[in-house]
């Protein structure tokens, strides 16, 4: 057995132990290969140590070309917009897949190691990384059928010939969990004849075969390359589907969890403080399983939050949102959640399973249809269909309630964002929420994809016209959200690790506390989920200081969709009356 200096000996041992489950007697050799990769990385890249999270962490989710400016490269335009409009209000930029791609707005990667030339170059990514943490998607489950790896498969040459999963059409795959209605096996003409390859998401997105250890090493190389380019958060896209095993659901398998653990060990070795985020849009128990015992993902998405907030505001009730939030588990040390209300994808409905009655989900879906949205479905094992995802711009999802449209859209939308910004975890804002972008129906028409409704590409001049117009909706929402974010970043109670407790005040009010354990300092976050005035319900909080209004709270009621962040008054404060 090869001997290693102490700095790598225990690392090699950890790797080989992890690799035994998926790769058996190949684990020692694989561990040695990875150690050499890591040693080379540390010798050729400057040491970086990223700070742990704090109340100042705000993530921004955006495509590289969500804002365009004529002939300028979009990544350069994005960087300029961040510096001029957001400055230090955000800590991390999640730039959605910025690689050459063939479909799915970037999630069908042709080449992991190149920046899409239509967006810019690696130097543009590095430039953004000088001022912000950069989150990069590792589209780990599949590649584009236009990739060189798949070209190798078609021609029967190495290395890609054995990078993909082949099955015969007669194979029983009825147990496999499906996120799409497209065929699971795609017939492909190769030099060896017609082969049927596994494609979980679409005929253009061909799943990689991680049973082949060469695929694992290739992906490790990709991770190290991203870290070398300035990435400090790796997002594992569609990770739940990684490992395939016949006669199973092929989702959340032990080998998949093991590979996530492996990625964490490698990342922590080469970039202390860098983070691993898993993308698993599934019910909570399955989602939180990617924390394991604090040795797997550093973060998971809080996938139940977007549909629960939308349901609460659409129905005017805190019941299911509060019940869910009250039952949230304690996260392992060194782990937290990424809170969000919208993203490039739609609002997933699977996390509502077991939380919200089916009839109320159906009513929510009907409302979204009335507000201009779309709903995709998934096929169950019995071949029945069930709503899977709502596709709509969040701002337009707030046009009204289940009773129809009303004039409270802006207030209702801001309430949704304030809830998200206050809850335990790290908040992530989608750029089209920050900008109150409405439904992009022309984008749906031109692309033929319903998800395009929430993926508008703003022309910078048009956007700035809106943002510089003090009476425009975009200007009002953008300005208000920036002010709220600035307040949040200065409040230590909002540290991601600080406890949260649900408070019962009255029907239609969602409230919780955030407490700083070391000092005992606490904050009460209160949100009116209805279009009615809530009177005489907050007497106990009179004369507390209200952070969002920057003044003492001298009332005892809540306006429609009003949100408050209350802290006890300083001892020197003299109580006031109405």
- Using 50, 70 and 90 to split pLDDT, how confident is the model at 303? very high
- Residue 35 in any domain: the answer is yes
**Domains in the chain: how many in total?**
2
- Over residues 499-506, the mean pLDDT reads 97
| pLDDT single digits (tens) 407-421 | 999 999 999 999 999
Residues 325, 319: Cα–Cα separation, whole Å: 10
| pLDDT at res. 573 | 43
- Residue 185 in any domain: the answer is no
Residues 339, 287: Cα–Cα separation, whole Å: 13
DSSP 494-557: G-TTS-EEEE--STTEEEEEEE-TTT--EEEEEEE-SSS-B-S--GGGTT-EETTTTEE---S-
Whether a cis peptide bond, with omega within 30° of 0, leads into 114 is no
Select from 194, 291, 203, 289 the least CA-distant residue to 251.
289
* Token duo for residue 446: 């031109």
The answer to the question of whether 104 is labelled as a binding residue is yes
Type and span of the H or E element at 492:
none
| pLDDT at res. 272 | 95
Type and span of the H or E element at 436:
none
- Residue 527 in any domain: the answer is yes
The answer to the question of whether 344 is labelled as a binding residue is yes
The position carrying tokens 């409704």 is: 453
The residue that leads in pLDDT, 354 or 575, is 354
**Which range marks the domain in which residue 518 is found?**
500-567
- Residue 504 in any domain: the answer is yes
Q: Is the pLDDT of residue 571 over 80?
A: no
Residue 485 CB neighbours (<10 A): 19
Burial class for 217, CB neighbours closer than 10 Å (0-12, 13-18, 19+): middle
| pLDDT at res. 574 | 46
- Residue 510 in any domain: the answer is yes
Q: Answer for the pair 495, 54: CB distance below 8 angstroms, yes or no.
A: yes
| pLDDT at res. 1 | 52
CATH number (domain holding residue 511): 2.60.40.1180
Report the side by side order of strands in the sheet with 385-391: 347-348, 385-391, 374-379
Model confidence, pTM: 0.95
- Residue 379 in any domain: the answer is no
Note the residue count of the chain.
578
CA 463 vs. chain centroid, Å, equals 25
Domain end residue (candidates: 44, 59, 78) = 44
Q: Is the pLDDT of residue 258 over 80?
A: yes
Burial class for 1, CB neighbours closer than 10 Å (0-12, 13-18, 19+): exposed
The residue that leads in pLDDT, 89 or 556, is 89
435: Cβ contacts below 8 Å, ≥ 6 apart: 458, 463, 467, 474, 477, 478
* Token duo for residue 520: 């005992």
Q: Give percent of the chain with pLDDT exceeding 70.
A: 97
Residues 278, 298: Cα–Cα separation, whole Å: 8
CA 166 vs. chain centroid, Å, equals 31
| Dihedral (Cα; 39, 41, 45, 49), 10-degree rounding | -80
Residues 299, 306: Cα–Cα separation, whole Å: 17
Instruction: Quote the longest CA-to-CA distance of the chain.
Output: 84
Residues 155, 191: Cα–Cα separation, whole Å: 6
Please provide the average confidence, as pLDDT, over all residues in the chain. 95
User: SS3 for 278?
Assistant: strand
Report the catalytic residues: 237
Q: Give percent of the chain with pLDDT exceeding 90.
A: 90
User: SS3 for 138?
Assistant: strand
**Bridge pairing between strands 500-503 and 509-515:** antiparallel
The answer to the question of whether 257 is labelled as a binding residue is no
The answer to the question of whether 531 is labelled as a binding residue is no
- What is the DSSP secondary structure assignment for residue 292, as one 8-state letter? T
**Bridge pairing between strands 522-528 and 509-515:** antiparallel
| pLDDT single digits (tens) 155-212 | 999 999 999 999 999 999 999 998 888 899 999 999 999 999 999 999 999 999 999 9
Residues 252, 311: Cα–Cα separation, whole Å: 28
| pLDDT single digits (tens) 513-569 | 999 999 999 999 999 999 999 998 999 999 999 999 999 999 889 999 999 999 998
| pLDDT at res. 570 | 73
Dihedrals phi, psi of 11, to nearest 5 degrees: -65, -45
| pLDDT at res. 577 | 46
Dihedrals phi, psi of 262, to nearest 5 degrees: -60, -45
Provide the β-strand partners of residue 236.
Answer: 138, 278
DSSP 52-85: PP-TT--EEEE-TTSEE-TTS-HHHHHHHHIIII
Alpha helices in 45-183 (DSSP H): 74-81, 122-129, 148-155
Q: Answer for the pair 240, 282: CB distance below 8 angstroms, yes or no.
A: yes
User: For the chain, give me the number of helices (H) and strands (E)?
Assistant: 17, 25
559: Cβ contacts below 8 Å, ≥ 6 apart: 528, 533
| pLDDT at res. 376 | 87
- Residue 328 in any domain: the answer is no
Type and span of the H or E element at 144:
strand 142-144
- Residue 534 in any domain: the answer is yes
CA 54 vs. chain centroid, Å, equals 18
DSSP 229-297: TTEEEEEETTGGG-S--TTS--SS-HHHHHHHHHHHHHHHHHSTT-EEEE---S-HHHHHGGGTTTTS-
């Amino acid at each position: 057995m090869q001997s290693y200096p102490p700095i790598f000996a225990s690392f090699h041992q950890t790797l080989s132990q992890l690799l035994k489950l998926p790769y058996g007697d190949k684990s020692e050799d694989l561990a040695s290969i990875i150690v050499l990769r890591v040693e080379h990385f540390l010798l050729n890249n400057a040491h970086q140590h990223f700070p742990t999270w704090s109340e100042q962490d705000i993530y921004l989710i955006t495509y590289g070309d969500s804002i365009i400016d004529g002939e300028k490269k979009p990544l350069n335009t994005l960087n300029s917009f961040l510096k001029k409009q957001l400055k230090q209000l955000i800590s991390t930029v999640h730039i959605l897949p910025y690689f050459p791609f063939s479909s799915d707005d970037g999630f069908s990667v042709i080449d992991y190691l190149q920046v899409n030339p239509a967006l810019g170059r690696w130097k543009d990514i590095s430039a953004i990384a000088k001022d912000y943490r950069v989150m990069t998607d590792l589209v780990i489950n599949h590649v584009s059928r236009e990739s060189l790896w798949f070209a190798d498969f078609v021609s029967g040459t190495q290395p890609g010939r054995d990078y993909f999963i082949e099955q015969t059409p007669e194979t029983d795959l009825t147990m496999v969990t499906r996120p799409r209605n497209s065929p699971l096996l795609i017939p492909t003409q190769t030099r060896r004849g017609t082969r049927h390859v596994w494609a979980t998401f679409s005929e253009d997105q061909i799943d990689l075969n991680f049973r082949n250890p060469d695929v694992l090493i290739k992906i490790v190389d990709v991770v190290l390359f991203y870290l070398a380019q300035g990435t400090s958060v790796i997002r594992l896209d569609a990770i739940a589907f990684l490992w395939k095993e016949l006669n199973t659901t092929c989702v959340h398998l032990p080998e998949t969890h093991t590979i996530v653990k492996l990625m964490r060990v490698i990342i922590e070795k080469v970039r202390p403080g860098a983070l691993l985020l898993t993308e698993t849009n599934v019910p909570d128990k399955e989602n939180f399983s990617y924390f394991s015992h604090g040795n797997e993902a550093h973060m998971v998405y809080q996938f139940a939050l977007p549909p629960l907030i939308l349901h609460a505001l659409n129905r005017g009730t805190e019941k299911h949102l509060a019940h869910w939030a009250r039952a949230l588990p304690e996260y392992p040390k060194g782990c937290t959640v990424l809170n969000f209300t919208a993203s490039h994808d739609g609002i997933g409905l699977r996390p509502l399973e077991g939380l919200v009655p089916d009839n109320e989900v159906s009513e929510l879906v009907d409302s979204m249809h009335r507000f201009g949205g779309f709903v995709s479905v998934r096929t169950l094992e019995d071949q029945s269909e069930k709503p899977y995802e709502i596709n709509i711009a969040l701002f337009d999802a707030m046009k009204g309630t289940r009773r129809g449209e009303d004039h409270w859209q802006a207030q209702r939308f801001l309430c949704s964002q304030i809830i998200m910004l206050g809850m335990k975890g790290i908040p992530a804002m989608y750029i089209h929420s920050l900008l109150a972008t409405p439904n992009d129906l022309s984008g749906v028409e031109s692309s033929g994809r319903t998800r395009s409704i929430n993926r508008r590409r703003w022309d910078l001049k048009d956007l700035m016209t809106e943002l510089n117009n003090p009476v425009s909706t975009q200007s009002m929402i953008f300005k208000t959200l920036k002010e709220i974010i600035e307040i949040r970043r200065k409040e230590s109670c909002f540290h991601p690790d600080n406890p949260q407790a649900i408070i019962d005040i009255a029907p239609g009010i969602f409230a919780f506390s955030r407490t700083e354990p070391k000092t005992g300092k606490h904050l009460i976050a209160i949100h009116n989920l209805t279009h009615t005035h809530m009177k005489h319900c907050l007497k106990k909080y009179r004369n507390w200081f209200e952070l969002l209004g920057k003044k003492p709270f001298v009332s005892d009621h809540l306006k429609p969709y009003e949100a408050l962040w209350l802290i006890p008054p300083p001892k020197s404060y003299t109580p006031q009356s109405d």
